[in-house]
Amino acid sequence: MIVVMKIGSPEAEIARISSELETWGLTPEKIVGKHKVVIGLVGDTADLDPLQMEEISPWIEQVLRVEQPFKRASREFRHGEASEVAIPTPNGTVWIGEHHPVAVIAGPCSVENEEMIVETARRVKAAGAHFLRGGAYKPRTSPYAFQGHGESALGLLAAAREATGLGIITEVMDAVDIEKIAEVADVLQVGARNMHNFSLLKKIGCQDKPVLLKRGMSATIEEWVMAAEYILAAGNPNVILCERGIRTFDREYARNTLDLSAIPVLRSLTHLPIAIDPSHGTGRAEYVPAMSMAALAAGADALMIEVHPNPAKALSDGPQSLTPDRFDRLMTELSPIGTTIGRWHRSAAVMV
């Protein structure tokens, strides 16, 4: 960290600040410039808040952070190597990470009934998906809207898993449900609205199932990686980051702005695998194919796409769901690009 002093700071005050910082276990080094004095701080500064440090003296103009606030999630933590998450499913282990083919996660927003979820699972498997997504517990803006079928939906997801061998990804909204969800799910999802729910992050970090962590709708990249750090620090190393659109000033056509530049940015900052959800990311089925193509070409490690057998009758998020037929066609469109960049499963429908 670097402490920038105001012009005309008294020598005695600079000495006092340096002494105080030494009591914090830091080694201050003074640089005297033409106009200003700057104090470089050597030592472990990851926990320090620059604004907090500015309070030490009214003569401090600014405190600048030089190191990133995250540790376990940082790319340096693994000496520049990507990590990968291995997920055992009935069909075999699926690996998600930079050096693996793109994993495809597909399914409806909510689990509605056994027929629809099993049928959807069959269709998306046939098209080449590796995981079934489906919500049992749904975060909804209105208390009067459908909130998911809850525990009973978990049984239906288990049936779909059994019928198809697909891995299951479903959202945890309340820490009290973790255990029963983990009995069925292969990956636990933390939704965008709970990315800053630190109690939940800590608890989900204390169990073993891999976690798909969605980006909060106005979370910075740094805050998002720090949320992953909560899970990693609690002991669970298997975190997949999922971009799902951020909130911006323009919400008229696309509901959110899918931030695909998160892919190269995260690649340089963290070793964690990166998923993209173009369905929530745009909010409209008609924009999903183009954004899926883009995400694949930009280097995503996984795609998460909403598919519903009858979007018009969906209990939630119908407008952003593809029909199974449209999803078939999308997989056909993605395949040559995925093959070109060397990240498509040779036979997507049959995993090892």
Range 63-82, binding a second copy (CB under 8 A): 64, 66-67, 69-71, 76
User: Judged by CB under 8 A, which stretch of 112-120, 160-168, 182-190, 228-236 contacts a second copy?
Assistant: 228-236
Q: Which residues in 83-122 contact a second copy (CB under 8 A)? A: none
Of the chain, the end-to-end C-alpha distance in Å amounts to 48
Beta carbons within 10 angstroms of residue 341's beta carbon: 13
> How many residues of this chain interact with a second copy, rule: CB under 8 A?
112
From candidates 27, 93, 113, 332, binder to a second copy by CB under 8 A:
27
In whole angstroms, give the CA distance from residue 76 to residue 68: 10
Two structure tokens written together for 262: 């998160």
- C-beta of residue 130 within 8 angstroms of C-beta of residue 105: yes
Query: What type of residue sits at position 212?
Result: L
122 or 247: CB nearest a second copy: 247
Nearer to a second copy, 4 or 126 (CB): 4
**Residue 102, Cβ neighbours under 10 Å: how many?**
23
Q: 211-214 and 239-243: which strand pairing?
A: parallel
Question: Residue 159, interface with a second copy (CB under 8 A)?
Answer: no
Among the listed residues 19, 251, 325, 349, the single contact to a second copy using CB under 8 A: 251
On whether the CB atoms of residues 117 and 160 are closer than 8 A, the answer is: yes
Residue 298, interface with a second copy (CB under 8 A)? yes
- Order of strands across the sheet that contains 37-42: 27-32, 37-42, 2-5, 60-64
Q: Which is nearer to a second copy, 42 or 349 (CB)?
A: 42
Sequence-ordered strand ranges (E) for 71-151: 84-89, 92-97, 103-107, 131-133
Contact track, a second copy, 161-180, x by CB under 8 A: ------------xxxx----
Position 25 contacts a second copy (CB under 8 A): no
Query: In angstroms, what is the minimal distance from the CB of 230 to a second copy?
Result: 4
Q: For residue 328, state whether it binds a second copy (rule: CB under 8 A).
A: no
34 makes contact with a second copy (CB under 8 A): yes
* Binder of a second copy out of 23, 268, 346, 347 (CB under 8 A): 268
Among 18, 24, 54, 122, binds a second copy (CB under 8 A): 54
Does position 347 interact with a second copy (CB under 8 A)? The reply is: no
Q: For a second copy, give the closer residue by CB, 126 or 297.
A: 297
Distance CA 220, CA 10 (A): 38
Query: What is the signed CA dihedral for 284, 165, 344, 287, rounded to 10 degrees?
Result: 0
The amino acid at 239: V
Q: Does 18 interact with a second copy (rule: CB under 8 A)?
A: no
Check residue 265 for interaction with a second copy (CB under 8 A): yes
Minimum CB separation of residue 36 from a second copy in Å reads 7
| Binding residues for a second copy restricted to 206-225, rule: CB under 8 A | 217-218, 220-223
Of 57-65, 81-89, 122-130, 160-168, which part binds a second copy (CB under 8 A)? 57-65
- Max Cα distance, the chain (Å): 77
Distance CA 223, CA 221 (A): 6
φ/ψ of 29, rounded to 5, equals -130, 125
